[in-house]
Structure 1
Amino acid sequence: MKAESLFPATILVIAPHPDDETLGCGGTILKLKAKGASVHWLIVTTMKDVSGFPQERVPVRAEEIESVQKAYGFDDVHHCSLPAAALDTLAKGKLVDAIGAVIKYVKPDCIYIPYRNDVHSDHAAVFDAAISATKTFRAPFVKAIYAYETLSETDFCLRPDDPGFRPNLYEDISDYLDQKISIMSLFDGEMGMFPFPRSEECLRALATLRGAQSNCLAAEAFMILKEIR
């Protein structure tokens, strides 16, 4: 298999919340863009008008998203604007329709989604909706779907029936790890001091572990859910 085959022309990265895309596949996004791929960012949730979130953070978050968009060079950013931390309270059809509409608009060759058994209920809901929206008769243009791991969500699942995140695809991000961490720092308040899981030390440690598993200095790991060649 030629390396270029791993980099389709159009990519959709689905993030339940802004920062999930960076934690899970920030280095891969940078690598894809460097190879000339068209990369779209779908943010499923919003804090606006959602109880439990300080509303003064809403304009700040909008500025963060704009800064992150520029840092990655995303070709476009799409929003479902559904309530954060409450996706499991919505009718599944509403979430499927919202995500499906973006998928039909972008027509991606490849989609990145969060791992199904992350501890955050929003991640599980997004996974289920994305899988439903990408059935081959609904989205025949989607040739690959990969699940990413999210520090502070994937690693904290304690379900006894969860087999755990078991990657079978690794992306060498040795040249992009520093930039990934720099972009993550654009999300004010999302990073913390070690041993907080969303810390520079933890981001580097996970990348180093995945790199050791794949014979490179730093890597991101994924589970292949679907590939049509």
Structure 2
Amino acid sequence: MVNTQNYKRCLVLAPHTDDGEFGCGGTIAKLISEGCEVYYVAFSACEQSVLKEFPKDILISEVKEATARLGIKPENLRLFKYNVREFNFHRQEILDDIIKLKSEIKPDLVFIPSVNDIHQDHATIANEAIRAFKFSTIFCYEMPWNNFSFNTTCFVKLSEENISTKVHAVSAYVSQAHRVYANEAFIRSLATVRGVQVGIPYAEVFEIVRMII
């Protein structure tokens, strides 16, 4: 298990608004409670795929609320406007954006989607982030609905408070409530399974791309 108190400045790269909360919301809550400065960057608000009964830009207001519930400062939330499912056409622009974030934020820990994530946008962010942060500690967060395989090499111990905070953050995404994984039962069951694997009540799991000690 990782001692999260070693990290003072973390960056979460979310292809789409909500990916960071689903993938590592409990860990974000834990890091912030321990005094870590967490930055959250979303590359798309998915306006092209929002259900018709919601405003097209609803995910912008939802990510602001969700990240606030995790404890992320408003000024530490960054939003880009790439079209969903088109990231691969803008690989170089995305890499340039990530490099600028690296220079500005200088994180000592970076969270990205899995390198085995089958969603084309997630794969683009993962690959470009590795290019940009090849001299940094990088953890990939778990999204079981997109991961055909996931190497469980790092576990972060979570408390009931951390899990409750994650559930509360995810619940801000009213427009995504129809997703089969966007509910408290799934969030808690996955955290329980991961906890059981290392003999604790709750955990989130990560793939280690690179770890600098």
1:133: which partner in 2?
132
Aligned alpha-carbon RMSD (Å):
2.1
> Partner letter of residue 71 of structure 1?
R
**Using CA pairs below 8 Å that are at least 6 residues apart, which structure has the higher relative contact order?**
2
> Partner letter of residue 170 of structure 1?
F
Query: Which one has the bigger helix percentage?
Result: 2
Which residue, out of 152, 155, 167, partners 2:145?
152
In structure 2, C-alpha distance between the alignment counterparts of 1:2 and 1:152, rounded to whole Å: 25
Displacement of 1:133 after TM fit?
1.0
Tell me the TM-score normalized by structure 1.
0.83
How many residue pairs get aligned? The number is 209
Tell me the TM-score normalized by structure 2.
0.89
In structure 1, C-alpha distance between the alignment counterparts of 2:103 and 2:46, rounded to whole Å: 25
Contact persistence 1:24–1:151 (CA under 8 A): no
1:64: which partner in 2?
62
Q: Deviations over 1:134-181 (max 9, x none)?
A: 133xxxxx3x11001114222xx3xxxxxx101111111133112211
Regions of 4+ moved over 6 Å: none
1:22: which partner in 2?
21
> Partner letter of residue 224 of structure 1?
I
Displacement of 1:54 after TM fit?
6.1
2:206: which partner in 1?
222
> Partner letter of residue 120 of structure 1?
H
Alignment pair present for 1:181 and 2:167 = yes
Alignment pair present for 1:208 and 2:207 = no
1:74: which partner in 2?
72
In structure 1, C-alpha distance between the alignment counterparts of 2:152 and 2:2, rounded to whole Å: 20
- Please list every run of 5 or more consecutive structure 2 residues that lacks an aligned counterpart in the other structure: none
In structure 1, C-alpha distance between the alignment counterparts of 2:13 and 2:181, rounded to whole Å: 21
In structure 1, C-alpha distance between the alignment counterparts of 2:121 and 2:78, rounded to whole Å: 17
CA shift in 2, pair 1:80/1:189, >3 Å: closer
Displacement of 1:206 after TM fit?
0.9
Matches for 1:112-123 after TM superposition, within 5 Å: 112-123=111-122
- Please list every run of 5 or more consecutive structure 1 residues that lacks an aligned counterpart in the other structure: 137-141, 158-163
